[in-house]
């Protein structure tokens, strides 16, 4: 079973370049064309947040049209640059949220060799992660249903610290996430937001952040680091389940990347 994780399109929807340099529409198109050309195709595609850059409805319309071009089933979750209510309406078919947890974008995908659980870590208007009590209760209940099944758990914000100081913000409720995950070593936690591929272990579970489709964060492991990006090659992660194990491959999307930068993330928006 092949589960593709795309992340961080950051589409503006106004025709402007992000931060004056990043053509995120072009990056999104490169990504779509690359995915369409893959053989074999992934079985499922999950997009782990920051689909839009500032919650513009035009951006969600571009996302909807683009994702509808893909053959495998596609699912989405929100990042700090997204508007949850617009995703629930404009991308309804890509986020099968049940009444008991709406409007949080949390859901599970069952009946596959690997179980997929998606949960929402956004606090509207915040850049950092927020593990809201209703989501805590939902996740605890969901993971308890199939404790021994290999499970890919997707969200936007990673709970671990990266060493890039500006990205290591407080994550409200993270202690509760740690307490829950300690009981489920079969889970792999797969996040976006960091715009770099990182692998670590957190709360006893293998945890990754995926390379982004747009804007790779410059690797500056200092207290001031994490606030600039380079125009590097776009990427994604392919989680491959076979022979009883999950291998997470960091993959590249061929492009004419210039690696220009570092460029500042000045004036970044987290919409309410
Ligand atoms: Fe992002
Ligand atoms: Fe983010």
Q: pLDDT at position 142, please?
A: 98
Neighbours of 77 (CB within 10 A): 27
Count how many Cα atoms sit within 13 Å of the Cα of residue 144 in the half-sphere of its side chain: 7
Measured in angstroms, how far is the CA atom of residue 11 from the centroid of ligand 2? 13
Measured in angstroms, how far is the CA atom of residue 166 from the centroid of ligand 2? 13
Indicate the average pLDDT of the chain: 96
Distance in angstroms (rounded) separating the CA atoms of residues 190 and 46 = 10
Q: pLDDT at position 45, please?
A: 98
Measured in angstroms, how far is the CA atom of residue 193 from the centroid of ligand 2? 4
Q: pLDDT at position 237, please?
A: 98
Measured in angstroms, how far is the CA atom of residue 8 from the centroid of ligand 1? 5
Ligand closest to 78 (CA) is: 2
In order of their start, the domains of the chain are: 2-264 (3.60.21.10)
Measured in angstroms, how far is the CA atom of residue 144 from the centroid of ligand 1? 30
Q: pLDDT at position 188, please?
A: 98
Ligand closest to 80 (CA) is: 2
In percent, the amount of the chain with pLDDT more than 70 equals 100
Ligand closest to 18 (CA) is: 1
CB-count burial class (<10 Å; 0-12, 13-18, 19+) for 149: middle
Measured in angstroms, how far is the CA atom of residue 35 from the centroid of ligand 1? 20
Q: pLDDT at position 268, please?
A: 80
Measured in angstroms, how far is the CA atom of residue 64 from the centroid of ligand 2? 19
Q: pLDDT at position 125, please?
A: 86
Digit-coded pLDDT (tens) for 134-176: 999 999 999 999 999 999 999 999 999 999 999 999 999 999 9
Measured in angstroms, how far is the CA atom of residue 148 from the centroid of ligand 2? 30
Distance in angstroms (rounded) separating the CA atoms of residues 60 and 1 = 28
Question: Is it the case that residue 10 has pLDDT exceeding 90?
Answer: yes
Question: Is it the case that residue 272 has pLDDT exceeding 80?
Answer: no
Measured in angstroms, how far is the CA atom of residue 256 from the centroid of ligand 2? 24
Digit-coded pLDDT (tens) for 43-97: 999 999 999 999 999 999 999 999 999 999 999 999 999 999 999 999 999 999 9
Measured in angstroms, how far is the CA atom of residue 267 from the centroid of ligand 1? 14
Q: pLDDT at position 228, please?
A: 96
Ligand closest to 8 (CA) is: 1
Question: Is it the case that residue 267 has pLDDT exceeding 80?
Answer: no
Across 102-107, average pLDDT: 98
Q: Strand 263-264 to strand 228-230: parallel, antiparallel, or no bridges (unpaired)?
A: antiparallel
Question: Is it the case that residue 211 has pLDDT exceeding 90?
Answer: yes
Q: pLDDT at position 250, please?
A: 98
Measured in angstroms, how far is the CA atom of residue 129 from the centroid of ligand 1? 12
Ligand closest to 217 (CA) is: 1
Model pTM above 0.85: yes
Residue/partner pairs of 31-34 with CB below 8 Å, 24 or more apart: 31/6, 31/213, 31/234, 31/236, 31/253, 32/66, 32/69, 32/70, 34/253, 34/254
Measured in angstroms, how far is the CA atom of residue 270 from the centroid of ligand 2? 9
What does each C-alpha distance from 235 to 29, 214, 253 come to in angstroms?
13, 8, 5
Measured in angstroms, how far is the CA atom of residue 52 from the centroid of ligand 2? 10
Across 27-40, average pLDDT: 98
pLDDT band at 269 (very low <50, low <70, confident <90, very high): confident
């Amino acid at each position: 079973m092949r589960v593709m994780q795309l992340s961080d399109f950051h589409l503006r929807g106004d025709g402007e370049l992000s931060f004056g340099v990043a053509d995120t529409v072009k990056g999104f198109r490169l990504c779509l064309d690359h995915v369409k050309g893959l053989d074999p195709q992934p079985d499922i595609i999950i997009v782990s947040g920051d689909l839009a850059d500032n919650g513009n409805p035009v951006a969600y319309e571009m996302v909807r049209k683009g994702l509808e071009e893909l053959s495998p089933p596609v699912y989405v979750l929100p990042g700090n640059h997204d508007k949850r209510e617009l995703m629930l309406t404009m991308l309804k078919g890509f986020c099968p949220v049940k009444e008991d947890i709406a409007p949080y974008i949390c859901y599970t995908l069952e009946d596959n060799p690997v179980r997929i659980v998606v949960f929402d870590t956004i606090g509207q208007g915040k850049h950092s992660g927020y593990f809201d009590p209703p989501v805590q209760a939902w996740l605890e209940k969901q993971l308890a249903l199939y404790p021994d099944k290999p499970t890919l758990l997707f969200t936007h914000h990673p709970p671990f610290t990266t060493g890039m100081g500006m990205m290591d913000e407080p994550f409200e409720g993270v202690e509760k996430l740690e307490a829950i995950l300690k009981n489920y070593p079969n889970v792999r936690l797969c996040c976006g937001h960091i715009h770099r591929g990182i692998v670590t272990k957190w709360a006893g579970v293998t945890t990754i952040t995926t390379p982004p489709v747009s804007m790779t964060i410059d690797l500056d492991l200092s207290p001031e680091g994490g606030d600039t990006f380079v125009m590097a090659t776009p990427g994604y992660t392919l989680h491959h389940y076979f022979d009883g194990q999950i291998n997470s491959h960091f993959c590249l999307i061929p492009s004419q990347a210039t690696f220009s930068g570092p460029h500042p993330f000045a004036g970044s928006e987290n919409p309410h």
